[in-house]
Structure 1
Amino acid sequence: MNIFITGATGLIGKKLCQFLIHKHNLTALTRSPSKSATLLPNGVNCVTNTDDIDFNKLDAVINLAGEPIADGRWSNKKKQEIYNSRIKITEQIVAAINTATSPPKVFISGSAIGFYGRQPDDLAITEDFKDCHDEFSHRLCRDWENTAFRAESSQTRVCILRTGIVLSKSGGALAKMLPPFRLGFGGPIGSGDQVMSWIHIDDMIQSILYILKHDEIYGAINATAPNPVSNKQLSQALARSISRPCLFTVPPFALKLAYGEMSELLLYGQRVVPKKLLDTGYRFRHDDIEDALNALNL
Structure 2
Amino acid sequence: MKTVLVTGGSGFIGRGLVRALLARGDRVTVLTRDVQRAQAALPGARVAMWDPERPGPWFEEVDGVDGIIHLAGEPIAKRWTEPARRQIVNSRVETTRLMGEAIGKARRKPGVFVCASAVGYYGPQPGDKVLDERAAPGEGFLADVVVRWEEAARAVEEQHGTRSVQLRIGVTIGEGGGALDKMIAPFKLFLGGPIGDGTQVISWIHVDDVVGLTLLALDNEAVRGPLNVTSPNAATGEEVARALGVVLHRPSWLRVPEAVVKLGLGDAAEIITTGQRVYPRRAEELGYTFRRADLVPALQSIFGR
Normalising by structure 1, report the TM-score. 0.96
The aligned runs of 1:212-291 (5 Å cut-off) are 212-291=218-297
The aligned runs of 1:176-191 (5 Å cut-off) are 176-191=182-197
- Tell me the distance in 1 between the aligned counterparts of 2:132 and 2:120: 13
Task: Please tell me whether the aligned partners of residues 30 and 45 of structure 2 are also in contact (alpha carbons under 8 angstroms).
Answer: no
- After superposition, give the CA deviation of every residue in 1:92-124 in whole Å (9 maximum; x if it has no partner): 110121233431110000110001100111000
1:133 Cα offset (Å): 2.6
- After superposition, give the CA deviation of every residue in 1:192-227 in whole Å (9 maximum; x if it has no partner): 000000001111111111221211011000000001
Gaps of 5+ in 2: none
Tell me the secondary structure at the aligned position of residue 157 of structure 2: coil
Match of 1:211 among 217, 224, 244: 217
2:44 equivalent to 1:13: no
How many pairs does the alignment contain?
A: 296
Task: Please tell me whether the aligned partners of residues 196 and 255 of structure 2 are also in contact (alpha carbons under 8 angstroms).
Answer: yes
- Tell me the distance in 1 between the aligned counterparts of 2:62 and 2:265: 41
1:54 Cα offset (Å): 4.2
Match of 1:136 among 119, 132, 141: 141
- Tell me the distance in 2 between the aligned counterparts of 1:29 and 1:37: 11
1:278 Cα offset (Å): 0.7
Task: Please tell me whether the aligned partners of residues 27 and 47 of structure 1 are also in contact (alpha carbons under 8 angstroms).
Answer: no
1:55 Cα offset (Å): 2.8
Amino acid across the alignment from 2:15: K
- Tell me the distance in 1 between the aligned counterparts of 2:182 and 2:256: 14
- Tell me the distance in 2 between the aligned counterparts of 1:54 and 1:31: 14
- Tell me the distance in 1 between the aligned counterparts of 2:265 and 2:155: 34
Amino acid across the alignment from 1:135: G
Amino acid across the alignment from 1:107: F
Gaps of 5+ in 1: none
Which residue in 2 is equivalent to 1:4?
5
Amino acid across the alignment from 1:67: E
Amino acid across the alignment from 2:192: G
- Across the aligned residues of Structure 1 and Structure 2, the Cα RMSD in angstroms comes to 1.4
Match of 1:47 among 43, 46, 49: 49
- Tell me the distance in 2 between the aligned counterparts of 1:133 and 1:25: 38
Tell me the secondary structure at the aligned position of residue 184 of structure 1: coil
Deviates more, 1:29-38 or 1:113-122: 29-38
Tell me the secondary structure at the aligned position of residue 303 of structure 2: coil
Which residue in 2 is equivalent to 1:152?
157
Amino acid across the alignment from 1:145: E
2:67 equivalent to 1:67: no
Task: Please tell me whether the aligned partners of residues 17 and 41 of structure 1 are also in contact (alpha carbons under 8 angstroms).
Answer: no
- After superposition, give the CA deviation of every residue in 1:168-203 in whole Å (9 maximum; x if it has no partner): 121111000111111110000001000000001111
Match of 1:173 among 176, 179, 194: 179
Amino acid across the alignment from 2:8: G
Task: Please tell me whether the aligned partners of residues 118 and 269 of structure 1 are also in contact (alpha carbons under 8 angstroms).
Answer: yes
2:125 equivalent to 1:98: no
Normalising by structure 2, report the TM-score. 0.94
* Identity level (%): 36
